[in-house]
Structure 1
């Protein structure tokens, strides 16, 4: 399907496919099951960079087939094109889903603004979906994907590979043993962004890369507002612009907030408040602010008690290199979080603290008594794929697709949308506050405070209850020709 193809016709085709598509094309064991010896036909939506790693890990050295690759810029996905020369290459993922009927499952590793619409389209056609973090660009899309995976009965997984790291599961074991007691305070931080943020919107119009056409750039823009090509957007720096990305919080939040979310069995937060780093430009123009993510942010999110954690809890996020200080239980000469303390998590309980780095690495407990506890060597919580790349995160997803939607293998996935959906909503709740705060810088007088105050959240109804202007950031308006189904 070309860029100008009728989207309605595409959706009709997709709906028809969903009604006639069976996960099991041969060696049938029963509806919804596939013989373990059968190979899945995999396709990648976004095949460069992380996309190449995701589809390669799911392919598992030829254990599965890679039959199609969709990427707007072949110059960025040469590794994938060389790895699978027989796979059909498409510039538009919609055309791939429309034309190629042998696809069983897709990995989606595009810029954030394509995640939701691509995943919903694939799920409607009965295809398993592996979606890079954050699950979507906004809260509404995340809710639609969470509900869509159940509705269409497809096996799903988000690409926060630390969810399959045994360190996170050891942390959960420690917490269940009541080593640190109820947790009332959590600190999460990152050294991101490592790309430009808080900079002026570019006004020059450089030529497109030789590997991209105007039509392909239009596909890259997809559901976002149209802007001309610029290297500050493609191939990597899109993360710093709200039109395409979700900033430092969206990039790292699903990795770093995952451990406390999993350990404390968190759900929807109840309130959020933030502040952001100021931007100083010689030629000041406030219109720069809402377009780009800030250079740093400080976000506080609150949660009620849970079945696992008998305490209300406040989570404090910081990015831009701002990190919390050592709690008294951690010796002054020891790092917190990662080895260099650049990224990490601290959970503060009544009996001690628990800490880890990115992906749940280096988990430790420091008791108030002065005792230090570390994970024993060889702990793997029974994951048969633990020695594989990224803890077998993609391989486990493939195995669950073969076993079927109602299988034990699917229920054991560490980041299916039932889990990663609410996690992502928590991450994006911080961005909702950040964007409201940024917008308030354009408002004069007393109204400035309205966008900077504590925002109260009704998670079931996806609504800020005390500042309606913030609710426009719950979902986005899609460009003509694109819509979330």
Structure 2
């Protein structure tokens, strides 16, 4: 009886020890990529309201992620996610969370406003954490270059939140293109009906009372010190250059990604833009440089790649501006998805697609050529974008492919922000004149500098608010 009791006690103690072992984060047990017995990725979320809320839920729904920590500067926005994951410890300051909990975190999801993406992501990467960052990857070109480099330096699995890159559409278009169905693509149009938030407006006069649930200083982060104003949080910040990147930052990653990936584009060599203006009254036009313009048209030139016969011209249009309707499209056929679209023009034909590369079709739509499936599809397509990242993190750096690693999404973000340089330059008012209009900005990619209009270089790497600087050396 004594032997049996001892054996029974040993088995019970071993079971308790094994159960405790399964909740230890993967990196503690053997470095990045170690598969813990629980096979769960310990995820921390920074910015867990709005899109961050759906991101966190999608990681959890993969069945392979544990939501361990939540961080948000606004208790109102985070309430739903905190209610869904009551066991996750909650912080307001991401620095405190990473400092105290980094030993218990495998991966970090970043989904705050654009201007703080880079500082949040880099802080996590420097600790060896895998990162998922909402689009656009960063607010500035320099920041995008930093995160692209840091992903390789710290050997972490990365993914940007342009979930359409996991759709079948991009892969199908690539298969059509490589099969020669449209010849060599030389011109691309991408357009959106956004913004759906205020742009081209004056900064509100006065200040408002800061909601008690919001830490305004943490929300500002890298941005200049300003008084809190109504209607900026949680969404309308997108239309202000201090925080957002306009319609290009919001939708560009979903639309430009298709031609960017299919054609193997990299960095813009030159760009020019025109912008819409507003009337402050019936006699006077208004231009408000702090605010993104109500509409814009940017034209980017990309150098020849190993997938093109020569340079590629890419047109970006927002605010409801659209390119000329293709003659191959029937009168009652919808151009794009009605508000957004992608048109790729080749020497032998054209490809039309909707947002996220969905509903890709050859023009005229009567063309039904079939080509062999060449590229593996992502299970669940856009919804599988999240599980793809979780599984890649569990496997470890370099073990599994993801659709939007920083090596792709970093340069993609840079090209969009280059277009924003031209858009901002067109709105720059100097003594009642606009010297940046009607210029083609020439880009020195190695030195990250516009060579013929120095005034916009201040936006390539902006000046951060004191105490919020991001330091990184290539």
Task: Please confirm whether the aligned pair reaches a TM-score higher than 0.5, indicating the same fold.
Answer: yes
Q: How does 1:346-365 map to 2 (within 5 A)?
A: 346-365=343-362
Q: How does 1:153-232 map to 2 (within 5 A)?
A: 153-212=155-214, 216-232=215-231
* TM-aligned CA deviation for residue 406 of structure 1: 2.3
* TM-aligned CA deviation for residue 232 of structure 1: 2.8
Name whichever of 198-207 and 345-354 sits farther off: 198-207
Q: Corresponding residue for 1:308?
A: 307
SS in 1 for 2:363: strand
CA contact (8 A) 1:166 1:380 kept: no
Q: Corresponding residue for 1:373?
A: 368
CA contact (8 A) 1:42 1:66 kept: yes
Q: Which runs of 5+ in 2 are unaligned?
A: 1-23
1:388-433, Cα deviation, whole Å (9 max, x unpaired): xx331111111111111121x1xx2110000000000011011111
Q: How does 1:237-276 map to 2 (within 5 A)?
A: 237-276=236-275
Q: Corresponding residue for 2:392?
A: 400
* TM-aligned CA deviation for residue 36 of structure 1: 7.7
Rounded to whole Å, the distance in 2 between the matches of 1:472 and 1:51 is 30
CA contact (8 A) 2:263 2:308 kept: yes
Report the TM-score, using the length of structure 1 for normalisation. 0.87
Is the counterpart of residue 481 in structure 1 residue 467 in structure 2? yes
CA contact (8 A) 2:278 2:285 kept: no
Q: Which runs of 5+ in 1 are unaligned?
A: 1-20
CA distance change for structure 1 residues 384 and 361 in 2, over 3 Å: closer, same or farther? closer
CA distance change for structure 1 residues 400 and 350 in 2, over 3 Å: closer, same or farther? same
1:414 equivalent among 396, 400, 403:
403
CA distance change for structure 1 residues 98 and 315 in 2, over 3 Å: closer, same or farther? same
1:432 equivalent among 418, 421, 425:
421
* TM-aligned CA deviation for residue 451 of structure 1: 4.8
CA contact (8 A) 2:25 2:36 kept: no
CA distance change for structure 1 residues 247 and 450 in 2, over 3 Å: closer, same or farther? closer
* TM-aligned CA deviation for residue 230 of structure 1: 1.8
SS in 2 for 1:184: strand
Q: Corresponding residue for 1:462?
A: 448
Is the counterpart of residue 55 in structure 1 residue 27 in structure 2? no
1:109-163, Cα deviation, whole Å (9 max, x unpaired): 0000010111111100000000000000010000000001101111100000000
Rounded to whole Å, the distance in 2 between the matches of 1:199 and 1:375 is 49
Q: Corresponding residue for 2:27?
A: 24
Is the counterpart of residue 72 in structure 1 residue 73 in structure 2? yes
CA contact (8 A) 1:157 1:397 kept: yes
Rounded to whole Å, the distance in 2 between the matches of 1:229 and 1:467 is 33
CA contact (8 A) 1:167 1:375 kept: no
CA contact (8 A) 1:23 1:104 kept: yes
1:82-120, Cα deviation, whole Å (9 max, x unpaired): 111111111111111111131111110000001011111
CA contact (8 A) 2:277 2:285 kept: no
CA contact (8 A) 1:274 1:433 kept: yes
* TM-aligned CA deviation for residue 279 of structure 1: 2.1
Question: Aligned pairs, how many?
Answer: 447
Rounded to whole Å, the distance in 2 between the matches of 1:277 and 1:89 is 43
CA RMSD of superposed structures (Å) = 2.4
CA contact (8 A) 1:222 1:482 kept: yes
CA distance change for structure 1 residues 452 and 475 in 2, over 3 Å: closer, same or farther? farther
Rounded to whole Å, the distance in 2 between the matches of 1:231 and 1:62 is 39
Q: Corresponding residue for 2:121?
A: 119
* TM-aligned CA deviation for residue 371 of structure 1: 4.3
Report the TM-score, using the length of structure 2 for normalisation. 0.89
SS in 1 for 2:368: strand
SS in 2 for 1:365: strand
CA contact (8 A) 2:200 2:278 kept: yes
